[in-house]
Amino acid sequence: MRWLLAPCLVALLGALGALGVACAGADRAIDLGGDDNDGSGAGSQTGTGASGAGEAGGGDEGGGSGDGGGVPPPCKPAPEACDGLDDDCDGNIDNGCPCQNAETQECFSGDPGLKGVGICKAGTQTCVNWQWGPCVGEVGPSAESCDGKDNNCDGNVDEGNAGGGNACVTGKPGVCSQGMFVCSSGSLVCTPTQQAGAEKCDGLDNNCDGNVDEGNPGGGGSCNTGKPGVCASGTMTCKQGGVSCVQSVSAGPEQCGNGKDDDCDGQTDEDCGCAHDVCTVGAALSKGCSACVSKICASDAYCCGNDWDKQCTGEVQQYCDSAVCVVSCPHSPCSAGGGNTPFPKYCDSPGNCVATICDQDSYCCQTDWDQQCVNEVAQYCGLGCNKP
């Protein structure tokens, strides 16, 4: 029986040896083909196992299925595109893009130095599709306006009378009515271009009280109208925008004896008669009381303005034709007076030597008949005082 079992053992051992060789070949096939991780299954070896027909690379461990045994395929670098992927295989996604989606940043399109000054302020930009969107909420500089703000962002508010300068009507009376718009406290206000002042005589309401030239501004002083008699007296008066001399007294009927030209005709107390005879020394006579007096006073105003003295009586013969006043000389023309004894001009009529001397030397008939006047008797009259 032992001999019958022997051949069976030999056959069994031979089969086991063949199986070992086949397994070794399969392992080698796996080693050779396992390095090909591209999933193609290439490089597999045909085994020589007990069946003699199996392929070592045909199983899952041979890599023929293409999944590389669970390892991801290698990265192939490409230019980075803004697509949410790491295209250039540097470990960073979308690097080099302007921005990342939903990212925000501050923005200001004007001069950076103006940001935060006045109304100027920054806005906000949001990244959309890897691009910065518009600047939202920013405020830049603008022309200055009258609103209490620094519109041009220069650090000043409403400077330069922003928005003002145009003419306007204030609604006030007089010179205060004309105005100009002025920026004040953030609003345009119609402000008078001329302020109220003292009233002047110019036809305007200078003090803006609704009245023109009230109170006789610039007037009130005395003046002379240039008219005769009582009409000469006047008062400086504001009238029609100018100051002029307005007479204070109007002409009226002539009043005798007051020495005034009441009717302003240039004659005093005319048609009233003279206060005394022209040959009598006394008060000044009215210029128009007689024709003779008018002639004398036209030449010698003293007689009608001050006194009718001996000089005036002496001038009766000179100016009043043939009328002669019988006047005697205080003493002989050949002797000097006492210091205040003038001679009437025609006191020696009809010889009229005194009148001749006084025409040359008025002192003799106005102040005193002194020794000089005595000496002039021979000089002007050809008479000697030692002669009769």
Per-residue pLDDT reduced to its tens digit, 152-186: 999 999 999 999 999 999 999 999 999 999 999 99
Contacts of 276 (CB under 8 A, 6+ apart): 282, 283, 285, 308
Query: What pLDDT is attached to residue 332?
Result: 86
pTM higher than the cut 0.85: no
Among the residue ranges 141-155, 183-197, 263-277, 356-370, the one predicted with the least confidence is: 263-277
Q: What is the C-alpha separation between 365 and 318, in angstroms, rounded?
A: 14
Q: What is the C-alpha separation between 116 and 107, in angstroms, rounded?
A: 12
What are the structure tokens assigned to 339, written together? 């210091």
How deeply is 360 buried, as exposed, middle or buried, from its count of CB atoms within 10 A (0-12, 13-18, 19+)?
Answer: exposed
Per-residue pLDDT reduced to its tens digit, 361-380: 989 988 889 999 999 988 88
